[in-house]
Amino acid sequence: MKKEHKIAQEIYAISELINSGDYQKAIDRFRDLETNNPKNNTIKFNKVGFLIDIGFGLKNSKIVKEGIVTGEKLLKDSSCKNQKTNLYYNCANGYVSFYHLGYDRERDVKQIVDNENLQNAKRNFREALKESNHFDSKP
């Protein structure tokens, strides 16, 4: 079996672990996959959404932040231009997750209006839509 096929199978298995709520096992398997394939672009691209979803599931803002930072770095990488819509979407999702992890009911209204994470989420959602519209409008 080709290495790329094995990586795709492992990514699918990690996704299934996330979907079933087994976040610790998912992060452990992802870290192993990443360690064994440090230069693989498919893993780098999937890392963003995986870390955000796993971090939120584990209620670990550090993991969510790692996903956001990874996504923002990839957005600056010219080799990822075809994935910009997904990267912006994942970063936006990450900022929303980051917001929810730090939500304080006692300050709820002020938190919503002035929250930097929500503003970043909105900015990234808008960029995802722009990229999607740009992609869809090409001949």
The pLDDT, as a whole number, for residue 108 is 58
Domain that includes residue 101, residue range: 3-136
On whether the CB atoms of residues 126 and 85 are closer than 8 A, the answer is no
Q: For the domain that residue 14 is a member of, what is the CATH number?
A: 1.25.40
The pLDDT, as a whole number, for residue 109 is 52
Q: Does the predicted TM-score (pTM) go above 0.85? A: no
Angle at 7 between CA 6 and CA 11, to 5 degrees: 120
The pLDDT, as a whole number, for residue 61 is 93
Mean residue pLDDT across the chain: 86
Q: Which amino acid belongs to residue 118?
A: L
CA dihedral 67, 60, 25, 20 (to 10 degrees): -90
- Give residue-wise pLDDT tens across range 61-112: 999 999 999 999 999 998 888 888 899 899 989 988 988 887 555 555 555 5
Number of domains in the chain: 1
The pLDDT, as a whole number, for residue 139 is 46
